[in-house]
Structure 1
Amino acid sequence: MLLSLRLYNIALIDSLELSLKKGFSVFTGETGAGKSIFLSAIDSLLGRGFSSSSSRLIRVGAQEASIEGVFTLDSEVKNWLNENSFDFDDHDELVISREWKFKDDRLMSRIRFNGQIANRKQLLALRPLLVDLVEQGQSHHLYSSGHQLSLIDNFGTDEIDKLLTKVKQKWDKWYSSHIALQIAQKEFDNSEDEFIAIQSFLDDINSANLDDPQEDLILTKEQDRLVHGVRIYESLLSLFNRLKENSDNFPSALDHFYYCINELKIISKLDSSLTSHLDNLFELSNGLDQFLKTLESYQMVLESDPNKLDDVQNRLSLLNRLKKRYDLDLPGIINRRDSYLKELSSGNTLKCSLKDLEQQEIAFRLERDEINSSLTKLRMKCAKKLEDNLILYLQPLGLENIQFKVSFASSIPSSLGADSVEFLFSANEGQPLASLSDIASGGELSRFLLALTSVLAEVSGSKTLIFDEIDSGVSGRVSTAIAKALKNLSRYKQVFCITHQPLVAALADHHFSVSKTVENGMTNSKVLLLQGFQERKSEIAKLAGGDFEQASIFAASLLDNKAA
C-alpha cells in the first residue's frame, strides 16, 4: 500500500506531500489542473519515463527534482528485497526515492530503496509487487497476443508458474540438443571441404616454419637496424675514435683514464685517504672498457652479414602475406595452427555420431511437446475461468449481452510453450465474436480494462491500483456501475482513480481536489484533501456543471445516497 508521496519541483508542483490511506481515493479538478501529475509521478518513481520524459516532468527552471514514495512492506516485497540483497532492518515500510539533477546540461538520475542505491532494472522488477497502473491509453496492449497470453498466465498464478518452469527446462534441454545436432550435421556435411581448407592452412604455416609469435616484431626491429647500418657504423667509428683510438694531438678517453689512474696512484701514496677514490676510478675505467667491448661485439655482428637485410625483408614479406591471407596476426595464426593440429589428432571432429544426436533430439522434442501440451490444457482451464469471471464483472457495467472468449491456436514452440491466443469480444446481442481490437469502442474498452484489472487483482501481487480516467466515455448508470466496481475493488486493494465523473467521485472514501494558480508569474498546481460534506459537495457540483444550484443539489444527493 502507498502510504505517502512527496514531490519536489515536479511539473507544476514546487513542493507537495500527500498522506494516503487505504480504500478508494479520487483525484478531481478542471482539465489541465494537473491531475495526471500524480499518475506521472508514480510512473516515474517506479522506473518508467527514464530519460527524455523525466526532463519534461521536472519543473521549468529547476536544476533538481525528486519524488519519494513510502510503501508498506508485505511478505512478497520483503522476500524480493532479501533475494536482491537489500536491507530493510525489519521495518514495515519501504521508502523509494528518485532524484534528478542537471549536471553539465545532462540529466542525472539516482534511485534508492530505504537509502540504498538501486538501479532501474531492479526498480522495474519490484514495481509489479507495489503498484498496478491502469491507463486508458494502455488499451493497445490488450491487442497483443503475447500480452493476452501473459494475462492468462498471471491468472493461473503458482500452478502455471511451476509448469512454466518445467516448460523452460524441457525447452532448454531440447534446444541444446537441437543446436548440437545442427552443428554436427553441418560439420559432417562440410567435413571434406573443411579438411582440405585445414590442410592447406597447415601446409602454408608449416612451410613457413612459424614458432615465435613475436617474430614479425623482432624482424621489424632488425630491419630498421640493418636499413640504417651505414649510419650506425659511422657513429660507432666516431665513438671508438673518441673513446679508444688516440692520435698525437687528441688522446682518447681511455688515455685520459690511464693518465688519471697513474696520477692518482702517485698521490694516494702520499695520502692514503685517496685510495678509495683510486678504486672508484678503476671501476669507471673497467666500466668504460666493458662498454667498448659490447660496442665492438655489436659492430662485428653489424659487419658479419651484409646480405642479412634481404633475408629479413623477404621473411617479413612472407609473414605479412600470411597475416593478410588469413586476416590474423602472427599469434592468431600460430594458435589456429595448434588448434587444427589438436583437432586432426582427435581423429573425429564430431563428439558423438549423428545417429546418437538425432535420437537424443527426438527424445527431448517429445518431452518438450508433452509438457507444452500439459501447459496448453492448464491455460485453457484458466482461460475458461477468466472468461466466466470477466463476464460476471462486465454485465453490471452496462454490458448485459457481453460475450467473451479466449481463442487458442498452436504457435512455434518456445520457452513459454506453444500457444497463441486471441481475445474475442461481442458487446451486443446478435453480433458475432470478433477480435477485441476490431469491434470494441473506447467506452467498452475502458470497462473491459476495469473488469480485467478487477479479476486479475484477486491474484495480483500489487496492493495498489491506479486508474487514469477509466470511466471516460461512459455516463449514467454505467458510471454508477463503474463507481461501484472501483469501490468493491477497494475492499481488498488500495484504489486511486483520476476522474471527471461526479458519480465516481461521490463514492470515494478520500477525495483530492487539484487546482491551478499563478503566483509571481509561475503556474502552480495544488492538491487539497477535501474534508467534510460541504467541501466534497462543492467539488462534485463543479464536476456536474450546469446550473450551480441544481448541480449542488445533485452533488448533495450523491453524497447522501453514496451514488446508489
Structure 2
Amino acid sequence: MLHSLRIENFALIDHLEVTLTPGLTVLTGETGAGKSIILDALDAVLGGKVTGRILRTGSQRGLIEAAFDLSPSLRDWLTEMEIDALGEGELVCTKEFSLSGEHFRSRSRINGVIVNRQQLESLRDRLVAITAQGQAVQLAAPNQQRQWLDDFGGDTLLQEREAVLSCYRAWQGIKRALEEQRQGEQQRLQQLDLLKFQWQELEEAQILDPQELEQLEHQYQRLNHVSQLQHQGRIAYQALYEGNDHFAAADVLAQAQVALGEMRAVDPELSGVVDLIEGAIAQVEEAARQIRTYTDTLEADPDQLDMVANRIAQLNRLCRKYGPTLQEVIHHRDRIAVELERHSQGHQSQGELEERYRQTEQELIQACDRLHQARVATGQILETQLIKQLKPLGMANVQFQVQFQPIPPSSWGSDQVTFLFSPNPGQPPQPLGAIASGGEMSRFLLALQACFSAVTAPKTLIFDEIDAGVSGRVAQAIAEKLHHLSQYHQVLCVTHQSLVAAMADHHLRVEKMISEQESSTLVRIHSLSDADRPSELAQLAGGGKDQPALNFATALLEQAANLRQPL
C-alpha cells in the first residue's frame, strides 16, 4: 500500500506531501487543476520516462518520493536485488532529477540504493496497477491481451509458459549451433588449431609455480657473480674471524671481553655490558661460520647458468604473449584447456545436430500445445468472470470471448490472443479495440481489474478518470465496483463523478492557485473532512453551492454510506 507521496519541483508542484490510507481514495478538482500531475509523478518515480520539461519553471532540481508498506512479495524482491529493508518496514522509491544547462539527469533509488530502469519495471507491477481510459491502444494490442490472460491464469499457466520459454531457448540454441556448424566449420577448425598450438606451447613449458621466474632471476644473479661473491665472502670472513694483517672483529671483541671482565671484578654493575660483548662474540662467530659455509658451496657452473638463462628467456617470452605475469600465463593455459574440452566434446556431426534440432523442435511444439490448452481453459474462466463483472455496469447483454489464432512457435507460445467484445445484442463480437466506445472501454478496464483482484496480491490500484463518459446508473455501478475493489486493494481514483466521489472512504481535493509572491501557478491538495465533502460534491454535480445542490450532495453521501454497509 502507498502510504505517502512527496513531490518537489515537478511540473506545477513546488512542494507537496500527501498521506494516503487504505480503502477508496478519490481525487477531485476542476479540469486542469493538476490531478493527473500527481499520477504522473507516481508514474515517474516508478520508472516512467521523464524529461527536462517535468522540472518546475525556474527550478534546477526536483524530487519525488513514494513510500509503500512492505509486503512479503516486496521483501522477496528486496532480497533478490540485495537491498536492505528499512527499519520501519517500508519500501521507499525515490526519483531525483536535475537540469544543468541543457543536460537533464535523473537517478532512481530504492531504500537509498541506486537502481536501473529494468529493476524498477520488475518492481512496478508488484506495487501499482494504473488504469486509464487512454489505454484503448494498449488494450487492442494482442501481446498485451495475451499477457493479461497469462497473468489471470496464475502460477499454473505461467509455469507452462516458462516451460515453453525453456524449450524455445534450447531449440534456438541448437538452431544457432546447426547454422554455425554449416557456415563456420572452417573457422571453428582454425580456432581449434590455434588453441592446440597454444596449449602445446604452454604444456611443454611445464609451468607449475607462479613465482618460478622470480626465483630463477635470483638464481641467475648468484651464478653469474660466483667469483665476486666468493671474493667478498672471504673478505667478510677474514674481517670477522681470521684477520691476517689486522685484528678480526672476533679478536677485538675478545680483547674487550677480557678487559671488561677485569673491570666487572671491581664493579659488578658492568655485568650487563659484559653480557652484551659475549652475545656479540657469539653472533660474529655464527655470522663468520655461515659466510664460510656459503662461500664453500659457491661453485661456478656455466652449464647451469646457461640453462637458467634459457628458462628465464622462455618464461619472459610466454609472459609477453599470454601474461603479463606468470600467474596470468598459468590462467591462460587453464582457460585453453577448458576451451579445448568444450570444442572437443561440444563438436558433433551435422547429422547429430539435425537430429537434436528435430527433437527440440518437437519438444517446443508439445510445450506450446500444453500452454495453449491451459490458455483455453483460463480464457473460458475469464470469459465467465468478466461477463459477470460487466453486467452490473450497465452491460446486461454483453458478449465477451477470448479468441486464439495459431502463430509460429515463439518464446511466448504459439497463440495470438484477441479479446472479442459486443456490448449490444444482435452484434457479433468484434476485436475490443475496434468497437468499444470510451464509456464501454472504461467499464471493461474496471471489470478486468475486478477479475484480477481475485488472483493477484494486494497492491495500489489507480484509476484515472475511469468513469469518464458515463453517468446515472452506470456511474453508480462503477462507484460500487471501485468500493468493492478497495476491500482487497488500496484504490486511488481521479474522478469528476459525484456518485463515485460519494462512495470514497477518503476525499482529496486538488486545486491550482496563483502565487502573487512568485508570480507563478502552484498545485495544492487538501484532505476534505466530512463537513467539507457536501460542498465539493455539489460542485461536481454542477450545482454550485446553493442549498438544493448541497442537499443533493448530502443525500448522495447518505446513500453511499448505506450502500457501503452490505458491500
Q: TM-score range by the shorter chain?
A: 0.5 to 0.7
What is the alpha-carbon root mean square deviation over aligned residues?
6.2
2:494 corresponds to which letter in structure 1?
Answer: I
Partner residue of 1:214 out of 211, 215, 235: 211
Q: Does 1:287 align with 2:289?
A: no
Q: CA deviation at 1:376?
A: 0.5
Partner residue of 2:129 out of 124, 128, 132: 132
Q: CA deviation at 1:318?
A: 1.7
1:98 corresponds to which letter in structure 2?
Answer: V
CA–CA distance in structure 2, aligned partners of residues 261 and 7 of structure 1 = 87
1:241-284 Cα shifts (integer Å, max 9, x gaps): 87668687x76544532331232344345567756644442321
CA–CA distance in structure 2, aligned partners of residues 374 and 342 of structure 1 = 39
Q: Does 1:35 align with 2:35?
A: yes
1:330-385 Cα shifts (integer Å, max 9, x gaps): 3455567679889999xx84799999998788666645532421221221343355
Q: 1:291 to 1:552 in 2, by over 3 A?
A: farther
Contact 2:108 2:114 in 1 (8 A): no
SS of 1:217's equivalent in the other structure is: helix
Q: Give the TM-score normalised by structure 1.
A: 0.65
CA–CA distance in structure 2, aligned partners of residues 537 and 435 of structure 1 = 33
CA–CA distance in structure 2, aligned partners of residues 398 and 150 of structure 1 = 25
Partner of 1:465: 461
CA–CA distance in structure 2, aligned partners of residues 451 and 535 of structure 1 = 30
SS of 1:304's equivalent in the other structure is: coil
Partner of 1:91: none
1:528 corresponds to which letter in structure 2?
Answer: S
Partner residue of 2:152 out of 145, 152, 155: 155
SS of 2:510's equivalent in the other structure is: strand
Partner residue of 1:321 out of 317, 322, 327: 317
2:539 corresponds to which letter in structure 1?
Answer: E
CA–CA distance in structure 1, aligned partners of residues 414 and 538 of structure 2 = 56
Partner of 1:489: 481
1:514 corresponds to which letter in structure 2?
Answer: V
CA–CA distance in structure 1, aligned partners of residues 107 and 168 of structure 2 = 46
1:540 corresponds to which letter in structure 2?
Answer: L
Contact 2:171 2:357 in 1 (8 A): yes
Q: CA deviation at 1:493?
A: 0.8
Q: CA deviation at 1:208?
A: 3.5
Partner of 1:525: 524
Partner of 1:536: 536
Unaligned regions of 5+ residues in structure 1, if any? 72-76, 87-93
CA–CA distance in structure 1, aligned partners of residues 140 and 221 of structure 2 = 71
Give 1:509-524 correspondences, 5 Å limit.
511-517=507-513, 518=515, 523=522
Q: Does 1:453 align with 2:476?
A: no
CA–CA distance in structure 2, aligned partners of residues 82 and 194 of structure 1 = 45
CA–CA distance in structure 2, aligned partners of residues 490 and 400 of structure 1 = 22
CA–CA distance in structure 2, aligned partners of residues 341 and 516 of structure 1 = 71
CA–CA distance in structure 2, aligned partners of residues 198 and 332 of structure 1 = 16
Partner of 2:26: 26
1:156 corresponds to which letter in structure 2?
Answer: G
Q: 1:334 to 1:315 in 2, by over 3 A?
A: same
Q: CA deviation at 1:540?
A: 1.5
1:270-302 Cα shifts (integer Å, max 9, x gaps): 567756644442321232343345456666788
Unaligned regions of 5+ residues in structure 2, if any? 81-87, 97-104, 561-567
Contact 1:487 1:507 in 2 (8 A): yes
CA–CA distance in structure 1, aligned partners of residues 32 and 389 of structure 2 = 32
Contact 1:482 1:504 in 2 (8 A): no
Q: Does 1:419 align with 2:411?
A: no
Q: 1:361 to 1:520 in 2, by over 3 A?
A: same
CA–CA distance in structure 2, aligned partners of residues 338 and 128 of structure 1 = 45
Contact 1:479 1:504 in 2 (8 A): no
Partner of 2:158: 164
Give 1:334-483 correspondences, 5 Å limit.
334=330, 349=345, 366-383=362-379, 386=382, 406-414=403-411, 417-422=413-418, 436=433, 448-462=444-458, 464-471=460-467, 475=469, 478-480=470-472, 483=475
Contact 2:26 2:504 in 1 (8 A): yes
Q: CA deviation at 1:213?
A: 3.0
Contact 2:132 2:465 in 1 (8 A): yes
